[in-house]
Amino acid sequence: MASKHITMALAGNPNAGKTTIFNQLTGARQKVGNWAGVTVEKKEGVREHKGIQFTVVDLPGIYSLTAYSMEEVVSRDFILKEHPDVVVAVLDASNLERNLYLACQLIELNIRLVFAMNMVDMAKDKGLLIDYEQLARLLGVPIVQTVGTKGIGIEELLDKVREVVEGADSVSRHIHINYGPEIEEEIQTIKGVLKGKTPEFAARYYPRWSAIKLLENDPLVIKELASCPKGDMVLKQAEASRTHIKELFEDEADVIITEARYGFISGALKETVKLSAVAKRDMSYEIDRVLTNRLLGLPILLFFMYLLFQSTFILGEYPQSWIEAGVAFIADVMGHVLPDGLAKEMIIDGVISGVGGVVVFLPNIVILFMGISLLEDTGYMARAAFLMDRVMHLLGLHGKSFIPFVMGFGCNVSAIMAARTLESRRDRILTILLNPLMSCSARLPVYVLVAGTFFPKHAGNIIFGIYLLGVGIAVLMGRIFSKTIFRGEATPFVMELPPYRMPTFKGLIIHAWDKAKAYLQKMGGVVLVFSVIIWFLGAFPKDVPLSMDYEAAKATLEERLAQSGLSEEDSRAVKEEIANIEQKEAAERLQASYIGRIGQAIEPVIRPLGFDWKLGVSLLTGFVAKEVVVSTMGVLYQAKANEEEDLSGLQAALKKSGMTPVTALAFMAFVLIYVPCMVTIVTIWRETGSLGWAGFAISYLIVLAWIVAFGIQKIGGGIYGFVGG
Amino acid sequence: MYLSDVKNGAIATVKHIDSGCEMYRRILELGIFPGTRLKILQNVPEGPVIFEKNGSKMILGRGMAQKIRVE
């Protein structure tokens, strides 16, 4: 029967090239990482092929189908409960033994399978001669050879999937991996009890698989079975079988079963794989000798990080000035074209000041993300995890946590989701709680603005210092947390070291474009809305009691200006006075506005830090998204720099506001540490599964931010006062 | 001798893994069990170990390496 619609799930080891195959299948523009477990989310895509609609679901990268990690549970649940028409296992041909381990477990599920034998070119380079046809026959699963990076074999894969769904494939048959007479006997016994006592469960999952899982002491199968009527009788039998096997082999049943699977695999490989003499030498060894060197490794890593942040600032400067000029031009045009009134005020003071203030940082963010994805795609990130293992132990974590930390410099949301690759809940929550201290790219505009204003010559170094401050505090808090709330050892550190890969230029560009698009969407959405809201709160109420009649004062001055016979000097002085009065008026109006009242209400809390109420309001709105901090400043400080809406205007306004370099430092530190953005909070909540942890993250970060900013203000104020006075 | 004591560049054969169930299975799943031959590429004192098995490289934390007996 020809079906018009086929759902296929992609399963496979991390680094087997699953994401690349997924992209080739669906054309989805998304990232290919190179370290274990980049695909933590379930991704879907569609593809038309020869009149059939394929829905492709990308499952997270896994090594096994136990219930060991979240990814495994997610993948298994999808396969067992959503019943995709076909599961395509993407296998790395250059690393067959371990990849086939997962394949064996998929075979045991008794589902429709196709193996996409990926990276066949790399296997050839390694000198492996593999008889894929023979292997397919042995496994009872059709094999399609693919090279994901070049798009080879994708059409054939879809053809094969269709054949398997239609039952037209000649290779497909269900094989049993033989676990030896003793274990097979126990499997039969459990299967018998399972079918007899819990027929409903036996119908839900393939009974042989359930029996094997029960022997393996799989917590999820046990839990599900326990909720079935008479399930306890099956569990009792399973318990007895496990004890029996332990007595026989003096080893746990799950260990025996794992060894038997590997035995089966090595048997199959012996028959199908030959090693040719002409193996290309892998460059990875030479590179690793330097990059993971005991003495050189860490300095090189630090150098790369330093390079990343410096180039973010320096390279970003050029396109930044172009965008700045563009924004100024638009503001100028709008100023002339639009009729005076509220709408004009809103567009120029709200939208252009707010959004324009933030959009100039687009180049910095794109460069930062490109740098991070370069580290990932080349495979360097896994080396960094290795190098940082000892450092991460200081935080009570191990090297693998370093990856979410580095990703945090891009965006805490994706970084917190990447923490799923950590096996233990303790490591995961600790990594998540510390992650907001990794300064995300949305905070970068604040630093670029403030550091650029107050430390124009050393902005790059100051910003690098702020990032280091975040890391330092993370180490400190990690130590405190792992000695108090999270006592106990970090789980063992096991990770695959992928071979180095040359990142493709196209991939980098696609990735950069993705980030730019996301950033611009944020500008058009959240930042735009909040700029208008902030403008509104700042512009209303209109009829506030003023300390003097500004209009009258202005009118008198303007009259004087209109008089003829004023010397040039005099007329300039009068003009200045008008500007002064206008500024005073605007400042007074702002203070009396809604936002001024909110700002003054919170001012007592931030006064000790040296922040005025405008900074306070900016921080408050930054909770929505960190970019909004700058756009709010753009709108609020506007009052003093009405003529120049561009960034240098904002910089000038900040300087005039009485902010000292010390306050600037305290402010940057505060922005670094205090509450992460809303989306991050929601992600923490989702990933930890508890509102409590999200609340804890908010409160400890706010308190910490206050303490650090206060410290900087006190210490720095002392030094500054001493040097300056 | 334990995996954590092996010098850089040496080849070791796994003899026994002295660890709890869950971790043991995890290690087995990565294809390391008694009889497996490993080539040690980087053994950082007090740090993790990088080794190679069948052409693929893996990192193992020190804690784990101290539990794998090798020859």
ipTM of the complex, rounded to two decimals: 0.84
**DSSP letter (8 states) at residue A349:** I
Number of domains present in the structure of chain B: 1
Domain ranges of chain A: 5-165, 181-275, 297-483, 515-542+593-724, 553-592
Phi, psi of A580 (to 5 degrees): -60, -45
Residues A602-631: tens digit of each pLDDT:
888 888 888 888 888 888 888 777 877 887
The answer to whether residue A724 scores a pLDDT higher than 60 is no
Say yes or no: B1 contacts chain A, CB-CB below 8 A.
no
Are A323 and A360 in contact by the 8 Å Cβ rule? The answer is yes
Least confident residue range of A428-442, A552-566, A587-601: A552-566
Which residues of chain B neighbour A68 with C-beta distances below 8 Å?
22, 25-26
Choose the closest CB to B59 out of A254, A493, A499.
A493
Please name the residues in contact with A708: beta carbons below 8 A apart, sequence gap of 6 or more: A469, A473, A669, A670, A673
Pairwise CA distance, residues A151 & A463, whole Å: 42
Q: Is the peptide bond before A541 cis (omega within 30 degrees of 0)?
A: yes
Nearest C-alpha of chain A: how many angstroms from B71?
20
Say yes or no: B32 contacts chain A, CB-CB below 8 A.
no
Residues linked to residue A273 through DSSP beta bridges, in sequence order: A130
**Mean pLDDT comparison of A215-219, A275-279, A364-368, A408-412, highest-scoring range:** A215-219
Nearest C-alpha of chain B: how many angstroms from A490?
9
Model confidence at A295, pLDDT cuts 50, 70, 90, reads confident
- Give residue A551's identity as a one-letter amino acid code: E
Pairwise CA distance, residues A373 & A365, whole Å: 12
Please name the residues in contact with A87: beta carbons below 8 A apart, sequence gap of 6 or more: A8, A9, A10, A11, A79, A106, A111, A112, A113, A114
Q: Which of A108, A113, A99 is nearest to A176 (CA)?
A: A108
Pairwise CA distance, residues A497 & B59, whole Å: 7
Residues B16-68: tens digit of each pLDDT:
877 666 677 777 777 777 778 888 888 877 788 888 887 778 888 888 888 88
Answer yes or no: do B50 and A255 touch at CB < 8 A.
Answer: no
Say yes or no: B9 contacts chain A, CB-CB below 8 A.
no
**DSSP letter (8 states) at residue A525:** I
CATH 3.30.1490.20 fits domain A181-275: no
User: Residue A1: its pLDDT value, please?
Assistant: 43
Fold match between A5-165 and A181-275? no
Answer yes or no: do A390 and B50 touch at CB < 8 A.
Answer: no
Which of A294, A494, A501 to mutate: most B Cβ within 10 Å?
A494
Range of the domain at B21: 3-70
| CATH architecture, domain A5-165 | 3-Layer(aba) Sandwich (3.40)
Pairwise CA distance, residues A560 & A571, whole Å: 9
Task: Please state, for a pLDDT cut of 70, what percent of chain A lies above it.
Answer: 93
Q: In what order do the strands lie in the sheet with A86-92?
A: A43-49, A52-58, A5-12, A86-92, A113-118, A143-145
Taking CA atoms, A239 is separated from A194, A197, A230, A419, in Å, by 13, 16, 15, 34
Task: Please state, for a pLDDT cut of 90, what percent of chain A lies above it.
Answer: 17
CATH of the domain at B40: 2.30.30.90
Across chain A, mean pLDDT equals: 82
The answer to whether residue A174 scores a pLDDT higher than 60 is yes
User: A415-424: string of b/e by CB count within 10 Å (b at 16+)?
Assistant: bbbbbbbbbe
Taking CA atoms, what residue in B is nearest to A95? B56
Pairwise CA distance, residues A614 & A406, whole Å: 32
- Section A490-505 average pLDDT: 76
The answer to whether residue A40 scores a pLDDT higher than 60 is no
Q: Which of A309, A319, A662 is nearest to A459 (CA)?
A: A309
Answer yes or no: do A489 and B54 touch at CB < 8 A.
Answer: no
Please name the residues in contact with A208: beta carbons below 8 A apart, sequence gap of 6 or more: A108, A110, A176, A187, A191
- Please, where are the H alpha helices in A338-398? 342-345, 353-359, 362-378, 380-387, 389-394
Which residues of chain A neighbour B19 with C-beta distances below 8 Å?
492
